[in-house]
Amino acid sequence: GAGVSQSPSNKVTEKGKDVELRCDPISGHTALYWYRQRLGQGLEFLIYFQGNSAPDKSGLPSDRFSAERTGESVSTLTIQRTQQEDSAVYLCASSTGTEVYGYTFGSGTRLTVV
Amino acid sequence: GNSVTQMEGPVTLSEEAFLTINCTYTATGYPSLFWYVQYPGEGLQLLLKATKADDKGSNKGFEATYRKETTSFHLEKGSVQVSDSAVYFCALRASNSGYALNFGKGTSLLVTP
């Protein structure tokens, strides 16, 4: 597609429920990233995919968080047993993976855990 | 570790004023440096980048020079417009961090007519 698409744009969920966040990267972009942006904070790196594999999962905050990517395209970030501290905007980005380029970001999913 | 420090906001300026948003970094090796902008209600967009010392990135009237001696990448614009009101993020990609970016906390800019 023309840009990085994320869905849903907004999600309100009850504490303890599981949520899935979806990212459709730009076609042909081999690298895909998930970041979290809490209110008033900078972006926090979560996970990076090169193709369908995740060489860097160092940013996942706990084992409640997981992510997968299929077909070198769509990625899903799953948060199990959501907690209020998971409330944030979850941003997805994709890139060609070439060193000199930055990313293209999606508009994010705003997750609110009540 | 790798990190980015930005000046605290919010920054409020009158239209046509000169803008500087300070950014300093800590990183091993020779990182690439970026400024991203987030306009109200929109996603993050790459504003400009520099990949080696003394490079100057520029776009839309904004400039930033990669200064290795002072580990800085300050964002400047000679004459801001109301439409420049946004949150600006400085970021780096270090040679030892794969492709992950380290972001600063962002600086909110409000330009008034």
Give B45→chain A minimum CA distance, Å: 7
Task: Flag if B101 and A56 touch (Cβ within 8 Å).
Answer: no
Q: What integer is the mean pLDDT of A46-59?
A: 88
Q: Which positions in chain B touch A108 (Cβ < 8 Å)?
A: 43
Radius of gyration over every alpha carbon of chain A, rounded to an integer in angstroms: 13
Q: Does A95 touch chain B (CB under 8 A)?
A: yes
Burial label for A39, CB within 10 Å (0-12, 13-18, 19+), is exposed
Q: Which residue in this structure is represented by tokens 């009540």?
A: A114
- DSSP lists the bridge partners of residue B108 as B87
* 113 residues of chain B, pLDDT tens digit each: 889 999 888 999 999 999 999 999 999 888 999 999 999 888 888 999 999 999 999 999 999 999 999 999 999 999 999 999 999 999 998 876 667 788 999 999 999 99
Supply the pLDDT for residue A1: 54
**Considering only CA atoms, which of A23, A106, A14 is closest in space to residue A70?**
A23
Amino acid, single-letter form, for residue B54? D
From A114's Cα to the closest Cα of chain B, the distance in A is 23
Among B25, B37, B44, most A C-beta atoms within 10 A, so best to mutate, is B44
The CA-CA-CA angle for residues B57, B63, B65, to 5°, reads 60
Give the number of other CB atoms < 10 A from CB of residue B90: 30
Q: What is the mean pLDDT of residues A19-29?
A: 95
> Alpha-carbon distance A78 to A66, whole Å?
5
Predicted confidence (pLDDT) at residue A89 exceeds the cutoff of 90: yes
CB contacts, 8 Å: B43 with chain A: 4, 91, 105-108
What residues in B contact A92, CB-CB < 8 Å?
none
